Chain A
Amino acid sequence: MKNYIDFVADASWNTLKGLWVTLKFLFLPSITVQYPTEKIVPYPRFRGMLAYDAELCIACGMCVRACPSRCIALAKAAPPPAPPPAADGQPAAPAVKAGPKIEWYTIDYGRCNFCGLCEESCPTKPKAVWHSLDYEAVFSTREEMVRRWKRGDGPWGTVKRSADAQPSAISDQIHIQDMPVRK
């Protein structure tokens, strides 16, 4: 009889515990987000799509050498023409403003394994190539997987087609890329 009562009491207590757990989760905010209009921001160490800044890049090629899957390629820019030698009694001509030190830079996301070695090896400060928090990597063809910056383009990724260099604006969505990313 005592066993029976103990069993019933134990079962009831466990039942109530289970009910308490579900009640608690009922009143907590839900994990699900409504994806196209709401987006979860990953933690800062998340390794998302590689981003690149041509203004900072010194075209040293460290990232190309560090990449284990050989997905980065770049070409150095020709050095700016040297200023003409100063004539007597005149100040030296001002140095030609150096543009980006790089001619073109490509990353093949089809090969990239998101290891982060290119970011690690980049010597500039802040990094010229880094993992952003962007996880919306959608491609419909293999060619699209290769992202490219070349001389004359705007900042990385702002150009729809290289023929008309119109930057596309962020319109109605919160973008992952707007989050703080650089270390």
Chain B
Amino acid sequence: MTEETIKPLSEPVYNHAHGRLLLPGTRYWPTDMWKSPWSLPTYRRGAAVLAGLITGGAAAAWFVGEIGPRLAPLYAAAEAFALSHDIPAFWISVVWTFIKGAILLLAPLVNALFAVWWERKISAHIQSRLGPMYVGWWHGALQTLADGIKLFLKEDIIPDCADKLVHTLAPIVVVIPAIIVFAPVPFGSGLVFADIDIGTVYVFAVGGVSVMGIIMAGWSSGNKFSLLGGLRSAAQLVSYELPRTFAVLPVIMLAGTLNIAEIASSQAGYWGGFVPRWFIFYPVVGQVAFIVFLIASVAETNRVPFDIPEAESELVAGFNTEYSGMKFALFFLSEFAYVLLSCLLMASFFFGGGAAPLPFLDFLPSWAWFLSKTLLLMFCFLWFRWTFPRFRVDRLMDFNWKFLLPVSLLNIAAGGLLIWLIS
């Protein structure tokens, strides 16, 4: 150890200060923080930001007000304009439908942008992490956008042993039903693309088509993991379609209609002035129907604990193992679109759609209540995802055929009994 090899410190270490207070912004060891989280300034600030977001959102919604009733005068004005300029009214309806369709198309896309970020944040905070923090200005808010750009720029790989046509077609077959299934779903009073009378049947029928795409993806990849994932997905989705549909039947019987917007609006009013007449508050039948529908919806969207089609630890990534770039993103998009769809359906079937939970809260427009109920239910989806471990394949089938299906069938009978008692 000669003196030539010796180099001094690069950073100051010297400290004589005895008993010096810790500097502001210093993070203590986490177990100390958990003893009294409210003493942390960052925790108080976070709570204030959360409360501010909720009140700000409510204020913005109150300021905007109802959107649905304003559309009819707008359409009438457009028709009058067409009449005065010798344009056939048919063209106005075509343009009107296209504009509505474009707005509807945005719903799953914006939802995917938001939901992926939200899922990452919630998963991080459940595991005591922070999640994305740098991209975007606030808490990684633009992380999904950055990931989307990355996926756009990625190479699109088609494996040599894949069936090229079917491999390319599969994500399209998955994503198109995931978008057009939103047509009869209301987003607020008057905010529905196609107000058709068989809305419920349409949603379940079109939503079922996506299974086809998943099987195509699994089969055409030429990979045993993909094939196993596709087969599991087919078995699971077909099985869970049954209790999911049966769970809605009591609601349809009570409402007396298949039109989703009408089901939502038939729950208006309050029992005793403060208990909303939502279907979830109908004794036993409503709660059982909701729980069965919720569980079956989680299974339908292939999410944990029912994610055996893409079980990472067993099947690499299941049916989307061989997909890269935007094709992979389309599978993701459709997954989150179905999550949004399930939440919208639950909000309109069981939670009264755009009705306020308490009579004095109805100063907020119906679309704001719809949105908040949907987001709360979507939070439940993410919450389940980061709480439960995955089902085994046989247990999954057991759970469906031996528990959900009998319970939902009994629930239909109970619903009939309830209607008989009420009338």
Contact = CB atoms under 8 A, between A and B. Distances in A.
Contact of B128 (A8, A30, A73, A180): A30
B138 interface: no
B376 interface: no
B14 interface: yes
Is the contact region of chain A dominated by helix, strand, or loop, or is it mixed? loop
A132 B12 contact: no
Contacts of A47: none
Nearest to B17: A180
Interface string A71-85: 001000000000000
A104 B133 CA distance: 46
Is the contact region of chain B dominated by helix, strand, or loop, or is it mixed? loop
A48 to B, nearest CB: 10
A57 B22 CA distance: 27
B20 to A, nearest CB: 5
A124 B152 CA distance: 66
Contacts of B40: 29
Interface stretch (A19-27, A60-68, A94-102): A19-27
B122 A179 contact: no
B37 interface: yes
B interface residue count range (under 10 / 10 to 19 / 20 to 34 / 35 or more): 35 or more
A157 interface: yes
Nearest to A39: B27
A2 interface: no
Given A18-B388, A31-B30, A43-B29, A73 B1 contact: yes
B27 A30 contact: no
Contacts of A182: 15-16, 18
16 contacts: A32-B129, A41-B26, A41-B28, A49-B13, A73-B1, A143-B7, A146-B6, A147-B8, A149-B8, A156-B13, A157-B8, A157-B13, A158-B12, A158-B14, A177-B14, A181-B15
A51 B27 contact: no
B241 to A, nearest CB: 22
A22 B7 contact: no
